[in-house]
Structure 1
């Protein structure tokens, strides 16, 4: 039933899906509670305290949810609406060493489901993505069919999945993962994220160090009026630090720059600053260089990218 429902939703026009999603997102945000409080607090932490920004961010979360069936089950139609002004970053990286794999890091920004499909379609090569199994078992068959398509291979966020990642990278293939999720036991370090210490996964740094691959942060910005998506690519500078905490800080900083391009499309409601029970004590924020202490972009500067 779930599969049939999502396939039916995928048949609807993308502008309608986005409009319905934004309406639902604003309705959910209208009710006081932990969701609204967390969204407001996290957005304000990043320099976006305006209530209008928070309402718009909630609307974009709704659009993100409603567009997923379209991307999953009408992928060719969705890819036809996807463009990029920065794919040359990927091409230049591959030109340096065609046999070298790439680790793509996709924050919860815009449509993170379109980015691996876009990369796999443009390169016409397989891509392995990592996901966390759903908490509700009923969703497992749905997600398995949705994420194993068009050159994608989904692996769980387990040791088995990590081993498959390593094998794929050593074959010179591409892999993708969401790096801004709270890590599991013993898999994280404290690192700055929008001016506050956040427990950050160490897996990306370990994978890059073990396989010597390039790291690129990528996000699919949602275009207005249901026109589709624009994919942004930004390469993480090399050589990477050898220290896991410095690696995590570098990846977080790279994600911050990408998020600033379309800040209202980031998933601010996610509990990014939670403290896992097994985490070490939170260290103080390191002193930032003077050049990095600038204010967040104004709303007009941010909207210039949408």
Structure 2
């Protein structure tokens, strides 16, 4: 069971503080992204153990009001999809029952969704991020091929292109990506490997390895650093760890920053700005 992560770690005290819980706690296969300092959760299951069909529903967490509301539904039901923000809109990619990667985008000012042309290649194991005004989808389809492919969407001409680049990584399970200062960073599930891609140079490079494995976690940028979550088993019969690692480009190193306040097996990440004085109660740490 995966839950949208509704906690925030304050940079001043480095403690976790609780925000209002997500209204549908049994939801799984959702996608989470932040836009205009609000958080959006799209798609996923219907939140029932007996009804696991995908849904079109989209929730919005209004930061200034500290509450969750339902906004306009997507055109297509989606589960295990991904989302990214581009030019002030939210793009949701994949996760439908179609044999192609269907895409649509959300305009927060009109509260409406519009269909976008689908990606060129079919992928089921992928990630997406916006970089330099374009949307990049990186992933593979283990059924048809296991090599990573990179596709780029240009909203100006409403068109996709396949990007051929030297040294593109091989197959990576459940990849996560994010853009920082014009460079795309890519991490894979349950591996220490990290890569970077420079769109201007059109070249991939290896980045310093993570200190530990992370699975079913997230990747986000904050204060010009990379943050990676996700749990890992400490040995065959060990405890389940939920450490958070942070990467600094200045030192080219990963450091263990903290641990999650709960033993979550699935986490989603997004960054928003809050007034710490509004959340004085520290999130209780799970000691079980």
Structure 1 or 2: larger strand share? 2
Q: Please, what TM-score do these two structures have when normalized by structure 1?
A: 0.27
Structure 1 or 2: larger helix share? 1
Q: Please, what TM-score do these two structures have when normalized by structure 2?
A: 0.28
Larger RCO: Structure 1 or Structure 2 (Cα < 8 Å, ≥ 6 residues apart)? Answer: 1
